[in-house]
Amino acid sequence: MKLKVGLINDSFPPTIDGVANTVFNYAEIINKKYGTPIVITPRYPHIIDNYPYEVYRFSSIDFKGKMPYRVGNPFFPKTLEELKRRNMDIMHVHCPFSSGVMARQINNTYRKKNRLPVVFTYHTKFDVDLDKYVPNPKMNKVARKFVLSNINAADEVWSVSEGGAQNLREFGYKGDIRIMPNGTDFTKGSVEPEKVKRLKNMFGIADGQPVFLFVGRMMWYKNLKLILDSLKIVSDAGINFKAFFLGDGVDRPAICHYAKQIGVKDKTLFIGAVYDREAVRTFFSAADLMLFPSTYDTSGLVVKEAAACDCASLLVRGSCAAEGVEDGVSGILAEENPVSCANAIIEAARTKGFFETLGKCAGDKVYFSWEQAVDLAYKRYEEIVERFKRDKKNNQPYF
């Protein structure tokens, strides 16, 4: 069934994060294999979209310094009428803030029986975000109620992991949740050895020297302090490593300062945001271990990206990112403290050939492509749209 799918999210390139990456890959694969995607996202100044599908940018406000993204304005009548004329079959919301309101506003332009089905995916632990950006208790309570109302407005709710679903229930959502995993756009397999060699030569990394990697937003809540404290212990144990940090964020200056403060500056390289996906693949291919002890993320796309390049990850036992990873087989699981993480890294680094064996197993067992993920999602779109049509014909509500 060829569907016109509205993919609505608060972030999309030029913003780089896991959810923007998700929406980009949904759009690419739907356009290539199935139907017509329309990405609906806040406008950024001076951005020219050159995609083989429509990217509809709506009015936005810059809250730089307070929020990491532009905040969309979903209330302009002209915008809503223009989107109504797109004749979408289904809307898939990936963020419950302005995107969630946008879906509700679009449906308000229809008579109730003609409204569009809405799917919502829970990607992020929004309680953490709200506590960070809305510290006032009364305002925080109002914000949580607002977010929950947007989630409750969806006809079907998905989570990218069991842990994410549990967090959503703790947030207050009481409905059914379907698990729909994310994937990676990387093809399976490392880049050519010559590319890895050039990268290591560029940064003066010797043959056999362990290389560790973090990829993600440079925010303290990604457990960056835990990573640096662990690396300090590893360094003190005599392991001569290099650690790359790829990404940007408001906490980056403080994180870099902390690395210098604890004495690991000479072993840590803060690269910043890397937009070239092949370059990112090269960093993954050069790494012996991905360090991702985040308990904030509901999935951790980077774990699958690392696995695509035969690089295993160090994860916190019981975290969402650790789902499906077997300790000592397809990854390393540790407790959420520097000593546990450091001891796991030290043991692995001192075991000859362990990183290579672990990485190959991660490639076999953890890798999951975006094509596989979107195949599952699109099949579910078809089922939801068919049921909506059937229930409309029988004058029955969807629920």
> Would you list the domain boundaries of the chain?
4-183+370-393, 193-365
Return mean pLDDT, the chain.
93
Residue 399 has a pLDDT of 43
The percent of residues above 90 in pLDDT, for the chain, comes to: 84
If residue 385 lies in a helix (H) or strand (E), which one and from where to where? helix 370-393
- Does this chain's domain 4-183+370-393 share its CATH topology with 193-365? yes
CB 102 within 8 A of CB 8: yes
Please say if the pLDDT value at position 222 is more than 80: yes
Q: What's the confidence (pLDDT) of residue 395?
A: 61
CA-closest candidate to residue 374, choices 103, 32, 90: 32
pLDDT band at 36 (very low <50, low <70, confident <90, very high): very high
What is the per-residue pLDDT for 324?
Answer: 92
Greater model confidence, 229 or 67: 229
Model confidence over 210-220: pLDDT tens digits?
999 999 999 99
State the pLDDT at residue 78: 94
Q: Over 50: is that where the pLDDT of 398 sits?
A: no
**CATH of range 4-183+370-393; options 3.40.50.300, 3.30.210.10, 3.40.50.2000, 3.40.50.2300:** 3.40.50.2000
Q: What predicted TM-score, i.e. pTM, was given to this entire model?
A: 0.86
> Are the CB atoms for 159 and 171 separated by under 8 Å?
no
Closest CA to 284 of 205, 357, 199: 199
Write the DSSP assignment of 69-85 as a string of letters: SEEE-TT-HHHHHHHHT
Q: Which of 182-191, 262-271, 272-281, 387-396 has the lowest mean pLDDT?
A: 387-396
Average pLDDT over residues 90-114: 94
Helix (H) or strand (E) holding 383: helix 370-393
- CATH number for the domain whose boundaries are 193-365: 3.40.50.2000
